[in-house]
Amino acid sequence: MEKINAVITGVGGYIPDYVLTNEELSRMVDTNDEWIMTRIGVKERRILNEEGLGTSYLARKAAKQLMQKTDSDPESIDCVIVATTTPDYHFPSTASILCDKLGLKNAYAFDLQAACSGFLYAMETAASMIQSGRHKKVIIVGADKMSSMVNYSDRATCPIFGDGAAACMVEATTEDYGIIDSILRTDGKGLPFLHMKAGGSVCPPSYFTIDNKMHYLYQEGRTVFKYAVSSMSDVTEQMAKKHGLNKDNIDWIVPHQANLRIIDAVASRLEVPLSKVMVNIQRYGNTSAGTLPLCLWDYEKQLKKGDNLIFTAFGAGFTWGASYVKWGYDGDKI
């Protein structure tokens, strides 16, 4: 029997219109463009500020574009996975809302929670589903409305994050392209350093939790920074060694966009020049599960069939990993 590979056949994306600049932020908290640019590398981020719209709105826009670009019949989709930390509701899943909005009749759908590593986990999940032979076409989405849980009076976190979503179609192929391998890790010891204190089953919402601002993202930045640099660099190097990849035959590194200094550190460990690293943090900030597919969306035209891509991400949990993808189509022909 021929080997089935899982290949990405298209990308769709969406970022909301409202641009929150460093200039505007510096009127909200005690910060400035120079600090944000040198410590994080974000110039502006997008915010979904229309009332009543949540993550499924971002996901829907991205997935609709994907369906159009790939000329996909809604009946042909087997499954939808939405990686997100900011679901529309605790339940039902954002993926089920998305299914309805896309008019999918033959799909099942679920949310996947792995924080900023969510898209990596979704990519590996979809690849395994396709390789099993039981699924032919899976939509994976990375979507987050980070502004829904950022405290805009906390200067240590509010410059970092933004809202956005992007989606990929993953399909079966017998060609030698696709999602080749992943190394994914989780270590729950990361909990104290990056979490939301209330709103879950341990500490349900109450007047106390609201009064004490416990529904915002909490981060010990320096600790997370340290773990992110070492974990992403180590796992990317491990993946490269495993597949004989090096600075000469890696075409692109696709890193999570949390901090430009982290991206620099990962690239320099592999001695890969920044010209081969996808970077859009300056325009969108950290969109959590959205960062990796938004990079593909922005760089799609530059991608060529057969390109070697290494994805890497790090997030709350801690969760982290790297995936090796042999790109399946010429982006400039789309």
Among 41, 118, 159, 317, binds ligand UT7 (CB under 6 A): 159
Contact call for residue 287 and ligand UT7 (CB under 6 A): no
| Local structure of 108: helix, strand or coil | strand
302 closest CA partner among 279, 268, 269, 323: 279
| Closest CB 281 distance from ligand UT7, rounded Å | 10
Q: How is residue 253 written in tokens?
A: 């590194």
Q: Which residue of the set 5, 22, 286, 308 is catalytic?
A: 286
Active site (annotated) includes residue 249: no
Beta pairing, strands 108-112 & 79-83:
parallel
Strands (E) in the chain, as ranges, are 5-14, 18-21, 44-47, 79-83, 108-112, 137-145, 163-173, 178-186, 194-196, 217-219, 252-255, 308-315, 319-326
> What is the distance of C-alpha 107 from the center of its chain?
22
Contact call for residue 40 and ligand UT7 (CB under 6 A): yes
Contact call for residue 196 and ligand UT7 (CB under 6 A): no
Q: How is residue 137 written in tokens?
A: 């076409």
Contact call for residue 228 and ligand UT7 (CB under 6 A): yes
Among 286, 308, 312, 319, binds ligand UT7 (CB under 6 A): 286
Residues 160-189 within binding reach of ligand UT7 (CB under 6 A)? 160
Among 62, 258, 263, 294, binds ligand UT7 (CB under 6 A): 258
Element containing residue 223 per DSSP (H, E) = helix 221-242
Q: How is residue 127 written in tokens?
A: 């690849």
Q: Which stretch binds ligand UT7 (CB under 6 A): 56-64, 97-105, 223-231, 296-304?
A: 223-231
142 closest CA partner among 166, 175, 172, 115: 166
Q: How is residue 238 written in tokens?
A: 């491990």
Q: Which stretch binds ligand UT7 (CB under 6 A): 183-191, 220-228, 243-251, 265-273?
A: 220-228
Tokens 């899976």 locate to 138
Q: How is residue 194 written in tokens?
A: 């990056």
Among 13, 162, 315, 321, binds ligand UT7 (CB under 6 A): 315
CB-nearer residue toward ligand UT7: 292 or 325: 292
In single-letter form, the type of residue at position 196 comes to M
Q: Judged by CB under 6 A, how many residues of this single chain contact ligand UT7? A: 21
Q: Which stretch binds ligand UT7 (CB under 6 A): 102-110, 175-183, 254-262, 324-332?
A: 254-262
Tokens 């922005």 locate to 298
| Closest CB 182 distance from ligand UT7, rounded Å | 19
What count of other Cβ atoms lies within 10 Å of the Cβ of residue 98?
A: 28
Write the interaction track for ligand UT7 spanning residues 106-135; mark x where CB under 6 A is met and - where it is not. ----------x-------------------
Q: Which residue of the set 79, 99, 116, 168 is catalytic?
A: 116
Active site (annotated) includes residue 295: no
| Closest CB 150 distance from ligand UT7, rounded Å | 12
> What is the distance of C-alpha 258 from the center of its chain?
10
Distance between CA atoms of residues 150 and 165, nearest Å:
17
Q: Which residue is nearest to ligand UT7 (CB)?
A: 221
Distance between CA atoms of residues 2 and 174, nearest Å:
7
Q: Which residue of the set 158, 168, 256, 295 is catalytic?
A: 256
CB-nearer residue toward ligand UT7: 108 or 152: 152
| Local structure of 112: helix, strand or coil | strand
Contact call for residue 64 and ligand UT7 (CB under 6 A): no
Active site (annotated) includes residue 116: yes
Which residues are designated catalytic? 116, 256, 286
Binding site for ligand UT7 (CB under 6 A): 31, 35-36, 39-40, 116, 155-156, 159-160, 221-222, 224-225, 228, 258-259, 262, 286, 314-315
